């Protein structure tokens, strides 16, 4: 797959990337969140723009500068992310869900700050499921041939978990990271395998998040034909 660094093979394409991690508010000052830095999603947005794509980046709570030449939509919660991604995916050739979406959100949002009460234990926190945005995107493609890509961080039997998740989500590609003590979260480097619905398996050696991003766009470009 020899390719010049700035070959505009995504020219004329619109791609949507989600990045960062959602925050699910509990009250005006607290939320349930996760450790996603957004760096992988931002690397995907930058590299797609460098390859000529029009890029929309739906960014959830990433403390990173807007990449040049990319349309950035800031969102907070999973429900906001879903609405934004659905809207901009309507005319997209590819959607890459690099964001870490909270699986659950507090069942109740307290309009005022939750206070301690003397001598009382806290009430258990009731949670409800968030929508599965990736599965919805894959099941209801906004246009025929739209390429849908997911990310998964796995432990234990990483490949088997990844294959099962790819099938469950119904997406075309799933980038599977092995997570551990020092791996992935907030780091500049990444190691992954990209699983394809057609059985393909593309290992990406430990290296910068840009290199993984380039491999993802190579595989997307192949599928766009």
Cβ 23 to ligand CTP shortest distance, Å: 14
Q: Is 132 in the site for Ca ion (CB under 5 A)?
A: no
99's contact among Ca ion, ligand CTP, none, with CB below 5 to 8 A by partner kind, is: ligand CTP
Among 103, 132, 154, 191, interactor with Ca ion by CB under 5 A: 103
C-beta separation of 63 from 79 below 8 A: no
Residue entry with tokens 């969140």: 33
Phi-psi region of 173 (alpha: psi -120 to 50; beta: other; left: phi over 0): beta
C-beta separation of 14 from 95 below 8 A: no
Question: What's the Cα-to-Cα distance from 186 to each of 24, 38, 44, 114, 215, rounded to whole Å?
Answer: 20, 8, 15, 30, 20
34 counts as catalytic: yes
Phi, psi of 176 (to 5 degrees): -110, 120
Cβ 150 to ligand CTP shortest distance, Å: 3
97's contact among ligand CTP, Ca ion, none, with CB below 5 to 8 A by partner kind, is: ligand CTP
| Residue 103, annotated as binding a ligand | yes
Cβ 32 to ligand CTP shortest distance, Å: 13
Judged by CB, which is closer to ligand CTP: 9, or 219? 219
Judged by CB, which is closer to ligand CTP: 114, or 139? 139
| Residue 132, annotated as binding a ligand | yes
Largest CA distance in the chain: 67
For ligand CTP, the binding residues (CB under 6 A) are 78, 97, 99, 101, 103, 130, 132-134, 150-152
Q: Which residues in the 25-84 window bind Ca ion by CB under 5 A?
A: none
| Residue 134, annotated as binding a ligand | yes
Judged by CB, which is closer to Ca ion: 66, or 103? 103
| CA terminus-to-terminus distance, the chain | 14
| Residue 165, annotated as binding a ligand | yes
Cβ 118 to ligand CTP shortest distance, Å: 38
> Which residues define the annotated binding site for CTP?
103, 113, 131-134, 151, 165, 169
Residues with active-site annotation: 34
The binding site for Ca ion (CB under 5 A) comprises 103
């Amino acid at each position: 797959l020899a390719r010049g660094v700035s070959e505009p093979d995504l020219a004329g394409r619109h791609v949507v990337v989600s990045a960062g991690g959602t925050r699910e508010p509990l009250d005006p000052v607290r939320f349930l969140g996760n450790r996603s830095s957004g760096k992988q999603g931002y690397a995907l947005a930058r590299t797609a723009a460098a390859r000529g794509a029009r890029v929309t980046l739906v960014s959830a709570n990433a403390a990173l500068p807007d990449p040049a030449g990319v349309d950035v939509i800031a969102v907070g919660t999973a429900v906001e992310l879903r609405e934004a991604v659905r809207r901009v995916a309507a005319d997209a050739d590819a959607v890459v869900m690099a964001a870490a979406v909270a699986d659950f959100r507090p069942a109740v949002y307290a309009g005022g700050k939750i206070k301690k009460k003397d001598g009382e234990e806290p009430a258990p926190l009731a949670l409800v499921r968030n929508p599965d945005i990736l599965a919805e995107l894959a099941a209801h493609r906004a246009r025929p041939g739209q390429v849908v890509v997911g990310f998964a961080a796995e432990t234990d039997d990483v490949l088997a978990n990844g294959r099962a998740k790819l099938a469950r989500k119904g997406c075309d590609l799933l980038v599977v990271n092995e997570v551990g003590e020092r791996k992935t979260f907030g780091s500049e480097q990444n190691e992954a395998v990209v699983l394809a619905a057609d059985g393909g398996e593309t290992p990406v050696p430990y290296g910068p998040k840009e290199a993984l991003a380039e491999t993802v766009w190579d595989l997307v470009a192949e599928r766009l034909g």
